Structure 1
Amino acid sequence: MSISEDLAQVAWHISTKSSENMGGSCVEAGPFADGSGRVAVRHSHRPDGEVIVYSRSEWKAFIGGVKDGEFDFPA
């Protein structure tokens, strides 16, 4: 199966924190359906654009950092 076929099976999610005040601009992320633990990320306004794919361990490290506040940059 090709990466484009794999991406067709991704269940994309947008954060509930995305609001109309942001113009709906947000990232979408979703797990691959193949059980690999990989997660794809893309821009919601460009669903046919570039996609970044993270391994299970990369995604877990990122989410852990988010939960620990490591990405709470000043606005």
Structure 2
Amino acid sequence: MSSETSWIISSRSTGNGGSCVEARRQGGLIEVRNSNAREAGTVVFTTEEWDSFLFGAKRGEFDRLLSD
């Protein structure tokens, strides 16, 4: 498996300047950024952290952050 991938944009992102999240693998790390503000930099996760985040997101552990 290659240690670097292209940026992948979320399928939930819109093409008209809406919320756009991109992620890629760079070496042993996962980088995440806002495609509308790429100059703002990235948030970096280890593969273990990213795996834990995805597991929690799939289980709905972060859903309460969306409610008022």
Sort the TM-score into its range (normalised by shorter chain): 0.7 to 0.9
**Structure-1 residue corresponding to 2:7:** 12
Shift of 1:20: 4.3
Corresponding pairs, count: 63
Give structure 1 regions of 4+ aligned residues with deviation exceeding 2 angstroms.
Answer: none
Q: Gaps (5+ residues) in structure 2? A: none
- Pick from 13, 30, 37 the counterpart of residue 24 of structure 2: 30
**Structure-2 residue corresponding to 1:4:** none
Structure with a larger share of its residues in strand: 2
Q: Gaps (5+ residues) in structure 1? A: 1-8
The letter of the residue matching 1:31 is: R
Asked if residue 43 in structure 1 is aligned to residue 54 in structure 2, the reply is no
Mapped partners of 2:52, 2:43: distance in 1:
15
- TM-score normalised to the size of structure 2? 0.74
- TM-score normalised to the size of structure 1? 0.68
